């Protein structure tokens, strides 16, 4: 039975669409990826895009249920799946899925996002990462920890006893890209093809930063060190990367316990190296957290029977 197709796991973000054909015990029968993120879908043609991505599987296996997460559930996506406020028990997510009906598919459900408020009442949001957390807990057989999901908008998430207690976003990835591509820092910066020494220097420079304003100054070193030939052209981008990741991790260093990294291999590797340099213990979540999260929510919602 377990080799039968049971669920379409759909990770649908701003820039890409990834679909997995899963068995009821999480095996991957097939997978497809397309650069069809929500920003690239014209005229709201989301149903057609999903149909195109899954067509051979639907033809072969009939109408399958689908679990969607990511920016597809945002106001700019297919349908707005409301946010659940923190603290939120992770099994509540499966009770708050937003339904969509599309011919040829079984039941389609969109995962909710999660919101948090900091002590000043400023809101924060995640959408998609909550499924990765659900999957990580399931795959690692744990019910809590501090998770870091690197990315364009990096998330640090505190989970205890199966509840997301709180989280905060850092714009580390997007800030790096904007500084490199759209400021003077990029002018003297070559491809990041060096030996990684620039990354380590950047992390070390972040260690000494005290206040928020110092970051506004520290990033300028990616230019001045180049002006004085004190940083190689192929290390400058890595220096800036190390500085920003180090600054982000510096805010976490006070926490206790190990940091669980969830994310793409290359980016997680940068965070792992920076954390080691800053004396922060890390542990890697398995690679397949998103689809494990989709399967857990779909099972909980009765779309899949194990």
Number of residues that bind a second copy (CB under 8 A): 49
Distance of CA 261 to the CA centre of its chain: 10
CA distance readout (Å), 42 to 11, 35, 72: 19, 13, 13
- Rounded to a whole number of angstroms, the minimum distance from the CB of residue 202 to a second copy is 11
For 56, other C-beta atoms within 10 Å of its C-beta total 11
Question: Could you give the 3-state DSSP secondary structure of residue 72?
Answer: helix
Per-residue CA distances from 183 to 97, 177, 189, 239, 244 (Å): 42, 10, 11, 15, 15
For residue 40, state whether it binds a second copy (rule: CB under 8 A). no
Q: Per CB under 8 A, which region of 47-55, 135-143, 222-230, 287-295 contacts a second copy?
A: 222-230
Work out whether 264 is an interface residue with a second copy (CB under 8 A): no
By CB under 8 A, name the one of 4, 48, 89, 178 that touches a second copy.
178
279 binds a second copy (CB under 8 A): no
* Residue 261 touching a second copy (CB under 8 A): no
CA dihedral 11, 12, 17, 22 (to 10 degrees): 30
Our finding on whether 120 is near a second copy (CB under 8 A) is yes
Yes or no: say if 58 and 104 are a contact pair by the CB < 8 Å rule. Answer: yes
**Which one of the spans 18-26, 98-106, 135-143, 240-248 is the region binding a second copy (CB under 8 A)?**
240-248
Q: What are phi and psi of 11, to 5 degrees?
A: -105, 105
Stretch of residues binding a second copy (CB under 8 A), selected from 15-23, 41-49, 219-227, 260-268: 219-227
Q: Where along the sequence are the contacts to a second copy (CB under 8 A)?
A: 120, 122-125, 153-154, 168-172, 174-175, 178-179, 181-185, 205-206, 208-221, 224-225, 227-228, 230, 244, 247-252
């Amino acid at each position: 039975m377990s080799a039968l197709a049971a669920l379409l796991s759909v990770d649908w973000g701003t820039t890409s669409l990834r679909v997995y054909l899963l068995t009821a015990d999480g095996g991957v029968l097939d997978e497809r990826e397309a650069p069809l993120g929500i920003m690239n879908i014209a005229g709201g043609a989301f149903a057609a895009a999903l149909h195109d991505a899954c067509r051979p599987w639907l033809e072969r296996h009939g109408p399958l249920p689908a679990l969607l997460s990511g920016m597809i559930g945002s106001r700019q996506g297919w349908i707005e799946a409301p946010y659940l406020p923190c603290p939120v028990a992770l099994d509540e997510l499966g009770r708050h899925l937003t339904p969509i009906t599309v011919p040829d598919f079984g039941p389609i459900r969109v995962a909710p996002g999660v919101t948090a408020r900091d002590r000043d009442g400023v809101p924060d949001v995640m959408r998609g990462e909550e499924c990765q957390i659900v999957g990580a807990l399931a795959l690692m057989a744990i019910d809590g920890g501090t998770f870091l999901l690197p990315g364009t908008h990096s998330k640090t998430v505190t989970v205890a006893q199966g509840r997301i207690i709180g989280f905060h976003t850092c714009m580390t990835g997007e800030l790096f890209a904007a500084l490199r591509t759209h400021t003077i820092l990029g002018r003297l910066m070559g491809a990041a093809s060096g030996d990684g020494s620039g990354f380590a220097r950047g992390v070390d420079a972040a260690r000494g930063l005290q206040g928020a304003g110092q970051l506004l100054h520290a990033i300028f070193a990616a230019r001045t060190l180049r002006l004085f030939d004190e940083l190689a052209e192929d290390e400058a981008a890595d220096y800036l990367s190390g500085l920003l990741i180090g600054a982000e991790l510096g805010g976490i260093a006070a926490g206790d316990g190990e940091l669980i990294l969830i994310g793409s291999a290359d980016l997680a590797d940068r965070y792992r190296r920076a954390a080691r340099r800053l004396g922060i213990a890390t542990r890697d979540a398995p690679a397949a957290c998103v689809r494990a999260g989709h399967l857990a929510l779909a099972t909980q919602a009765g779309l899949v029977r194990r």
